[in-house]
């Protein structure tokens, strides 16, 4: 039987396999991980004709260049992504949010994400990947998941165990909306900050720093003054938690975050805004808006319903 | 017992057991953690016990804050049941090449290194929690005259296996990681085994830990 596989000719900046992530491991120090932008992850799988919880290739900024060897196969790319399909030394401009058919020798060149961070490439197949705790999400910190828990590298090969049955072309119109206002619920240490500091947090603009990755997003801007204590007794963290260390610059915890931390929590990003938050590129402006728990719950219901509607339209 | 329950964002319940850090309070936290873990409650997808807090994360698609809060308030915790804790010995080598901050400690604590190590090795440590990075144990308590602040500027890379102290606690860096603890030695023992899905952590909350001083030769020859 002949082998079907992708060869990585360029790895890209931060290319990993991701799926839904792994649960119930915070207490031993392992975060959820998983695709950063969950909606785009799910859409990629649906467009490729995969089960929704299948692993995909996640890339950031510049993505990988892959060459395919094998029988005809479908893929789909989601996000705001510029990419090319190279066939017989011809470049075909790639279109996101639709099924694309690849033939033996074709190349997929993920040139860049467009004013956004993450994009997804779903392959319509069962991939030969290692699962740990029911997930193949790569956690580069603890070297857990597929590919020995490391980023993908040049010359590696992605082996395909079984190509999915050929599906009809699938397509959806979807526009990634960029937002500046991120909605948050006050954190458990909100009162550690001065009146001026609280005002700054909800009224001023912050800029996303270059020191931002899958673990966390650092912000720069006016300093938020702490009047109680710049440390708390170390305790659990969650994705979306906004901590403010002694220097007064907020840090937002993202999917690969450390599970315990000792800086005061000024706020938590609501679940409905997380997918959009992670797509903000360094240098972007960000503003926080306070919402109550009940609104946050309703906003998430709406967001989830919208995601389910998009999936069912495909 | 839980002093206060509040929400942390829209998908977590924050249980506060009081402001102090001691074994008694932490044992309460661990008992709540184990009880909830064993119940496999629909929608709960993570639990983070720490010194004096327990954070319960849930899937907002399946449940909500009000439901989980009520459940926790009505939970029957057997506080008299003993924790099933284990005693473990961790070998560490305190050769100068590993003890990156021993000089700083001598200056800060105004105790010479022999005495620092004597104090350290005679202690029975209690594991309060694990986390930050996979498997890292937070152990206590050091005597009052052994307590020191974190480094002013944290290291970008603390070597894997490093044993550090700060305030009343000791920890072990299970992976190379950034960190600001005062490093006094290094263990050759695997504290987190990422190839094991069941029991990857050598040390768990509630365990008792003693450290054993080994020579550089023993460190090099160490075989698990």
pLDDT of amino acid A1: 61
For chain A, the 3-state helix, strand and coil shares in percent, each to the nearest 5, are 20, 35, 45
Across the interface, of A143, A234, A236, the residue whose CB is closest to B194 is A143
Beta strands in chain B (DSSP E): 4-7, 12-16, 44-49, 53-58, 87-93, 125-130, 137-140, 155-158, 162-166, 169-172, 177-179, 182-186, 208-214
Picking from B117, B115, B104, B168, the residue whose alpha carbon sits closest to that of residue B140 is B168
Count other Cβ atoms within 10 Å, centred on residue B108: 13
**What are A152-175's pLDDT values in tens digits?**
999 999 999 999 987 789 999 999
A278 contacts A60 by C-beta, under 8 angstroms: no
pLDDT over 90 (residue B153): no
| pLDDT (average), residues B114-139 | 96
Specify whether B13 is located in the same domain as B95: no
Distance CA A16, CA A145 (A): 10
For residue B206, the chain A residues in CB contact (below 8 A) are: none
pLDDT over 90 (residue A231): no
Q: Confirm whether B79 is domain-assigned.
A: no
Across the interface, of A26, A144, A296, the residue whose CB is closest to B131 is A26
Specify whether B92 is located in the same domain as B165: yes
Specify whether B8 is located in the same domain as B35: yes
**What are B161-205's pLDDT values in tens digits?**
999 999 999 999 999 988 889 999 999 999 999 999 999 999 999
| pLDDT (average), residues A105-109 | 98
| pLDDT > 70 fraction of chain A, expressed in percent and rounded | 100
Specify whether B109 is located in the same domain as B216: yes
Across the interface, of B11, B47, B64, the residue whose CB is closest to A27 is B47
Checking DSSP bridges between strand A118-123 and strand A241-243, what pairing results, if any?
unpaired
- Domain holding B30, by residue range, is 4-73
> Of B73, B95, B113, which residue sits at a domain end?
B73
pLDDT of amino acid A180: 87
pLDDT over 80 (residue A273): yes
CATH code, B187: 2.40.100.10
Specify whether B34 is located in the same domain as B108: no
**What are A39-61's pLDDT values in tens digits?**
999 999 999 999 999 999 999 99
pLDDT over 80 (residue A258): yes
CATH code, B58: 3.30.1360.40
ipTM of the complex: 0.96
For residue B5, the chain A residues in CB contact (below 8 A) are: none
Specify whether B69 is located in the same domain as B91: no
For chains A and B, CB pairs below 8 A equal: 137
For residue A234, the chain B residues in CB contact (below 8 A) are: 50-51, 129, 132, 138
- Is A297 in contact with B12 (Cβ distance < 8 A)? no
Q: Confirm whether B56 is domain-assigned.
A: yes
CA of B114 vs chain A CAs: smallest distance (Å): 30
> Of B13, B43, B73, which residue sits at a domain end?
B73
pLDDT of amino acid A171: 96
Picking from A55, A45, A52, A51, the residue whose alpha carbon sits closest to that of residue A99 is A45
Distance CA A49, CA A99 (A): 8
Q: Confirm whether B81 is domain-assigned.
A: no
- Is A293 in contact with B11 (Cβ distance < 8 A)? no
Specify whether B112 is located in the same domain as B169: yes
For residue A23, the chain B residues in CB contact (below 8 A) are: 45-46
Q: Confirm whether B189 is domain-assigned.
A: yes
**What are A197-210's pLDDT values in tens digits?**
999 999 999 999 99
Instruction: For residue A156, give both structure tokens.
Output: 């590696």
pLDDT of amino acid B80: 62
Specify whether B63 is located in the same domain as B92: no
- Provide CATH 2.40.100.10 ranges for chain A: 181-313
Q: What does DSSP assign to residue A148?
A: G
Specify whether B119 is located in the same domain as B37: no
Q: How many domains does chain B have?
A: 2
Dihedral through CA A116, CA A122, CA A128, CA A132, nearest 10? Answer: 50
CATH code linked to domain A181-313: 2.40.100.10
A266 contacts A187 by C-beta, under 8 angstroms: yes
Q: Confirm whether B82 is domain-assigned.
A: no
> Of B29, B44, B73, which residue sits at a domain end?
B73
pLDDT of amino acid A214: 96
Specify whether B41 is located in the same domain as B116: no
pLDDT confidence of A79, banded at 50, 70, 90? Answer: very high
Instruction: For residue A148, give both structure tokens.
Output: 């020995």
pLDDT over 80 (residue B129): yes
pLDDT over 80 (residue B79): no
Specify whether B35 is located in the same domain as B128: no
Instruction: For residue B192, give both structure tokens.
Output: 């987190």
Which residue has tokens 């309460």? B28
């Amino acid at each position: 039987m002949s082998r079907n596989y992708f060869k990585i000719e360029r790895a890209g900046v931060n290319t990993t396999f991701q799926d839904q992530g792994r649960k119930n491991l915070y207490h031993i120090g392992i975060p959820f991980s998983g695709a950063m932008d969950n909606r785009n992850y799910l859409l990629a799988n649906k467009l490729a004709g995969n089960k929704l919880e299948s692993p995909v290739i996640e890339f950031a900024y510049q993505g990988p260049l892959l060459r395919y060897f094998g029988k005809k196969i479908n893929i789909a790319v989601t996000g705001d992504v510029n990419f090319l399909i190279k066939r017989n030394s011809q470049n075909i401009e790639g279109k996101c949010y639709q099924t694309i058919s690849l033939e033996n020798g074709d190349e997929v060149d993920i040139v860049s994400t467009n004013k956004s961070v993450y994009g997804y490439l779903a392959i319509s197949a069962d991939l030969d990947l290692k699962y740990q705790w029911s997930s193949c999400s790569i956690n580069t910190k603890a070297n857990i998941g597929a590919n020995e828990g490391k980023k993908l590298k040049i010359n590696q090969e992605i082996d395909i165990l079984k190509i999915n049955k050929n599906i009809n072309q699938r397509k959806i119109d979807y526009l990634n909306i960029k937002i500046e206002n991120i909605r948050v619920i006050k954190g458990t240490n909100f009162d550690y900050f001065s009146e001026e500091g609280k005002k700054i947090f909800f009224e001023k603009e912050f800029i996303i720093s270059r020191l931002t990755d899958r673990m966390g997003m650092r912000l720069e801007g006016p300093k938020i003054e702490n009047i109680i204590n710049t440390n708390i007794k170390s305790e659990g963290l969650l994705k979306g938690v906004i901590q403010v260390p002694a220097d007064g610059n907020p840090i937002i915890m993202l999917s690969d975050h450390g599970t315990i931390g000792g800086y005061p929590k000024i706020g938590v990003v609501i679940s409905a805004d997380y997918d959009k938050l992670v797509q903000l590129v360094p240098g972007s402006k960000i503003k926080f808006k306070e919402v109550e728990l009940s609104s946050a719950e309703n906003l998430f219901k709406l967001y989830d319903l919208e995601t389910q509607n998009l999936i069912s339209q495909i | 017992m839980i002093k206060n329950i509040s929400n942390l964002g829209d998908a977590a319940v924050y249980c506060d057991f009081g402001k102090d850090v001691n074994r008694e309070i932490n044992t309460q936290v661990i008992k709540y953690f184990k009880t909830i873990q064993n119940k496999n409650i629909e929608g709960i997808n993570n639990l983070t016990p720490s010194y004096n807090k327990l954070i319960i994360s849930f899937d907002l698609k399946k449940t909500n804050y009000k439901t989980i809060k009520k459940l926790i308030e009505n939970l029957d915790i057997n506080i008299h049941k003993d924790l099933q804790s284990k005693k473990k010995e961790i070998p560490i080598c305190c050769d100068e090449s590993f003890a990156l901050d021993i000089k700083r400690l001598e200056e800060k604590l105004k105790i010479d290194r022999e005495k620092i190590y004597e104090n350290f090795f005679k202690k029975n440590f209690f594991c309060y929690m694990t986390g930050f990075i996979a498997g890292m144990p937070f152990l206590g308590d050091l005597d009052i005259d052994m307590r020191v602040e974190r480094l002013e500027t944290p290291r970008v890379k603390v070597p894997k296996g490093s044993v550090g102290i700060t305030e009343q606690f000791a920890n072990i860096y299970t992976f190379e990681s950034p960190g600001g603890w005062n490093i006094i030695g290094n263990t050759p023992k695997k504290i987190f085994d990422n190839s094991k899905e069941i029991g990857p952590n050598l040390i768990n909350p509630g365990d008792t830990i003693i450290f054993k001083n080994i020579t550089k030769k023993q460190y090099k020859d160490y075989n698990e």
